A and B are shown apart, each in its own frame.
Chain A
C-alpha cells in the first residue's frame, strides 16, 4: 500500500529478500504491534462510533498491517504507521460515503438546537471563559462523536494520542496546514459543545455552532 517515506517506511534494501523468517516476523509483530490494540480500538471507536464495527476495523487493520509488516522498517514510527493503516482501512472499507463525509440529519438537528440555545445563553461569558471540568465521560464522548469526522479525528489524534502535526498529516493523508486548521477549528467546536454541558444545559449530542461567533477561520 502506498506509504509516505516521511514516516521512514522504506522497503529494506534488496527488495523482498530479508533474513527474517515468517515465524520471526510473527513474533516481532506480536511483540511490537499488538500492544497497540487498545489504542487503535479507541481511534476505531471515533471513526465507526459503535463497538462492533470498531472491533472489526481493528482486526482488519492488524491483518493488513501484518501482511505489510515486511515493508515496515524496525525502529521507525510504528504507532503512526499502524494508525495510517487504520485510517486507510476505514476510508476504503467502512466509511459509508466514500467521498466527503456526510453530516447526518440528526447532527444537523442538534446544531439547530444548539444554535437556538446559545442565543438565550448568558451574554458575555463565551465558551473561552467556561471552565471545562466535571463533565461526564458519556457527554464528552457524545460531543466528540457529534463532530464532523475531519475535525473529530484531528482533535483525537492530537489531544488524545499526542501525535504531532506532521504525524497526523501522514496518518490521514492531508497537508500539515490542513491539520492545523482542522485542529484549531475542531478544538473550538468541541470546546463550545462541552461549554454547553458545563453550563448545565445537558443537550445530548450538542455540537459547536456551525458559524464561528468570533469570526471564522
Chain B
C-alpha cells in the first residue's frame, strides 16, 4: 500500500535519514510518519532497523568508553601551562614598555614570525632641560605559508 506522496522505494532508500533524525524538513518527516501508519511492510522494516541500530549502539557504547588516567590529565594540564608560558614570554618580548601603545593581541602563536622595529628619536630642546622623545614601533606578524 502506498501513501500518496512517498512510495516504498523512496522510504526504503532514505530510511536511515529518518532513523538518524536527519530529516529537517517537517513536511517530509510527516510524510514518512503517514507512510508508516498506512504501510505495514515499511513499518516492519522501520522497527527492525531501529532495533538493529539500538543494539549496535548499545554494544558500541558499552565497549568504547575508555577514560584517561588522572596522571594523563595532569600531564595535559602541564603541557598546556607550558605552551601558555611560552606565549606569555613571547608577548612580553614584543610588548612596548612605553605608554600609549597597545599590544597587538594578547598572545603570539609559536611558529609565527614577529618582526618588531623600533625607532627612537631624541631631541634636546632649549638649554638641555627639556628632552623630547618620539618613539614609533612597528609590529608585523608573518604567518607560515
Contacts and interface: CB of A to CB of B under 8 A. Distances in A.
Interface of A: 15-23, 25-26, 29-30, 34, 37-38, 41-42, 45-46, 55, 58-59, 62-63, 66-68, 70, 128, 131-133, 135, 137-138, 140-141, 144, 155-156, 158-160, 164-165, 180, 183-184, 187, 190-191, 194
A38 B48 CA distance: 33
B83 A160 contact: no
B22 to A, nearest CB: 6
B101 interface: no
Contact of A164 (B22, B60, B110): B22
Contact of B84 (A22, A37, A38): A22
Q: Binding site of B, secondary structure by majority: helix, strand, loop or mixed? A: helix
B80 interface: yes
B53 interface: yes
A186 B2 CA distance: 30
Contact of A62 (B16, B65, B79): B79
A157 to B, nearest CB: 11
Contacts of B84: 22-23, 25-26, 66
Interface residues of B, number: 42
A25 B91 CA distance: 14
A interface: dominant SS: helix
Contact of A159 (B56, B76, B79, B83): B56
Interface of B: 16-17, 20, 22, 48, 52-53, 55-57, 59-68, 72-73, 75-77, 79-81, 83-84, 87-88, 91, 102, 104-107, 109-111, 141
A46 B64 CA distance: 9
B92 to A, nearest CB: 10
A178 to B, nearest CB: 14
A63 B109 CA distance: 11
A135 B16 contact: no
Contact of B64 (A66, A131, A141): A141
Nearest to B48: A128
B23 to A, nearest CB: 11
Given A17-B105, A46-B64, A187-B56, 17 more contacts: A22-B106, A23-B88, A30-B80, A34-B76, A42-B66, A45-B66, A55-B68, A62-B80, A63-B80, A67-B83, A67-B111, A131-B55, A135-B59, A140-B64, A144-B64, A155-B60, A164-B22
